[in-house]
């Protein structure tokens, strides 16, 4: 059964701490297996990737790792028109939101006459990992590829496993819509290694983004430093803060929207109404029987779900900040007022008519968000993740004469005489 806690009960702090400290990803340690795969791909390149694809995906790619571009274009025609229309709506909204994230440069001359600035430039190549087969997510293609395109990345590469040769046409249609034409039929740790280090067929990229299983996550961890990565994502999370005025069926659906992702997902309700809490719990039981993924959702809810009662919803902010959820719904009378008190959350959904699921597809902001309390120090995927900032400094002789002596003093204090001389020799040439 999901955990039930009351903020006023004795021992609440200890029980709450124990709950948020639970490890939800109980997968066995795969670091050794991944390290062997990464090393093998570095050494043998395409041959290793082909071997692992044959072993894990039961697919012979000896005829070529890359998906024929004609299949990408044909996929669009194979999809129902209403699905294509929905993808186009999502893509337009995602692009419009991310275009507003493009950063401005800096350029000014300070009071000492030093010209200073900063400019933003895109990375050269991005690799996007997309889960494949029947359990595929075209929305993830859009959420990863469109920010890269908006940033100006000139080469966007997608890897997508095709177990038993099975592809999802809507995933390929999403790639076509986002302008991705370089797609490889590979997945797992071997795909991450190929993107990071390159093979004869696949040129290396600068950054790898996108979700995957434990092997993919560990591979991203191991190649970080050779390439950039977006994050090490854990199981999905949703936290709903709701008052008594809500329809319990709505809240039940919202909680299960993340529970159905994975048995390790976390769904939490914080409310000041015991009646709502009971009604939501009953609503979840009713809804579970109608979900195709009911076994996954039920295990997630029973193993990791929680209902927390508080006497005042504005007190919920403290609990929310300690959980630092991936997704936060504020289904309350004054969501904006409560949101002002929230400092740690990946994405906040304001009001009773804003389910988290709308953010997964068509709202516009990115659905690649920090999990496992990492919203305390990180943000969701965005345009800046595909860019880097370079600072600019320019001194003329007068400007150097004003700030140079301080640099010499600090360099000498640190025992770095060549640093000091590099400035001094210019000062003496005046």
DSSP assignment letter at 28:
P
Three-state SS at 273: coil
Catalytic, out of 98, 176, 304, 327: 327
Nearest to 76 by CA among 176, 168, 167, 173: 173
| Exposed e or buried b per residue across 388-411, where buried means at least 16 C-beta atoms within 10 angstroms of its C-beta | eeeeeeebeeebbeeebeebbeeb
Nearest to 259 by CA among 239, 282, 277, 286: 239
Catalytic, out of 182, 260, 326, 329: 326
d(Cα 175, Cα 84) in Å, to the nearest integer? Answer: 12
326 catalytically annotated: yes
419 catalytically annotated: no
Output the 3-class SS for 364-399.
Answer: CCCCCCCCCCHHHCCCCCCHHHHEEEEEEEECCHHH
CB neighbourhood size of 83 (10 A): 15
All residues at 6 or more sequence positions from 203 whose CB lies less than 8 Å from its CB, including other chains: 125, 155
CA 219 to the chain's CA centroid: 16
Nearest to 172 by CA among 284, 311, 78: 78
CB neighbourhood size of 44 (10 A): 13
Catalytic residue numbers, as ranges = 326-327
């Amino acid at each position: 059964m999901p955990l039930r806690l009351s903020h006023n009960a004795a021992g609440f702090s200890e029980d709450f701490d124990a709950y948020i400290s639970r490890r939800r990803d109980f997968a066995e340690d795969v670091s050794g297996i991944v390290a062997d795969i990464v090393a093998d791909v570095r050494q043998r390149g395409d041959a290793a990737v082909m071997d692992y694809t044959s072993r894990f995906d039961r697919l012979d790619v000896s005829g070529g790792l890359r998906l024929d571009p004609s299949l990408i274009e044909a996929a669009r025609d194979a999809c129902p028109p209403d699905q294509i229309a929905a993808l186009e709506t999502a893509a337009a909204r995602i692009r419009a939101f991310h275009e507003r994230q493009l950063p401005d440069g800096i350029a000014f001359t300070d009071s000492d006459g030093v010209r200073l600035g900063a400019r933003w430039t895109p990375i050269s190549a991005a690799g996007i990992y997309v889960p494949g087969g029947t359990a595929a997510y075209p929305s993830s293609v859009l959420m990863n590829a469109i920010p890269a395109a908006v940033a100006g990345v000139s080469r966007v590469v997608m890897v997508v496993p095709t177990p038993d040769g099975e592809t999802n046409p809507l995933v390929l249609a999403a790639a076509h819509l986002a302008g991705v034409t370089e797609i490889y039929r590979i997945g797992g740790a071997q795909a991450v290694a190929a993107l990071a280090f390159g093979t004869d067929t696949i040129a290396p990229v600068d950054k790898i983004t996108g979700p995957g299983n434990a092997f993919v996550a560990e591979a991203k961890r191991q190649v970080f430093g050779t390439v950039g990565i977006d994050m090490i994502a854990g199981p999905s999370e949703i936290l709903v803060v709701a008052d008594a005025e809500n329809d319990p069926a709505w809240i039940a659906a919202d909680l299960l929207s993340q529970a159905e992702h994975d048995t390790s997902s976390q769904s939490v309700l914080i409310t000041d109404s015991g009646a709502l809490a009971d009604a939501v719990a009953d609503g979840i039981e009713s809804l579970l029987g109608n979900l195709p993924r009911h076994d996954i959702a039920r295990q997630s809810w029973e193993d990791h779900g929680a209902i927390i009662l508080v006497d005042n919803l504005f007190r919920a902010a403290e609990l929310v900040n300690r959980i630092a959820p991936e997704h936060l719904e504020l289904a309350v009378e004054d969501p904006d007022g409560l949101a002002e008190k929230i400092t740690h959350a990946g994405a906040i959904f304001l009001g009773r008519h804003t389910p988290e699921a709308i953010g997964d597809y068509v709202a516009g902001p990115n659905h690649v968000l920090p999990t496992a309390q990492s919203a305390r120090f990180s943000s969701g995927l965005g345009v800046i993740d595909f860019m880097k900032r370079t600072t600019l400094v320019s001194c003329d002789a007068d400007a150097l004469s004003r700030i140079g002596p301080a640099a010499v003093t600090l360099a000498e204090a640190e025992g770095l005489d060549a640093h000091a001389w590099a400035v001094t020799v210019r000062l003496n040439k005046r």
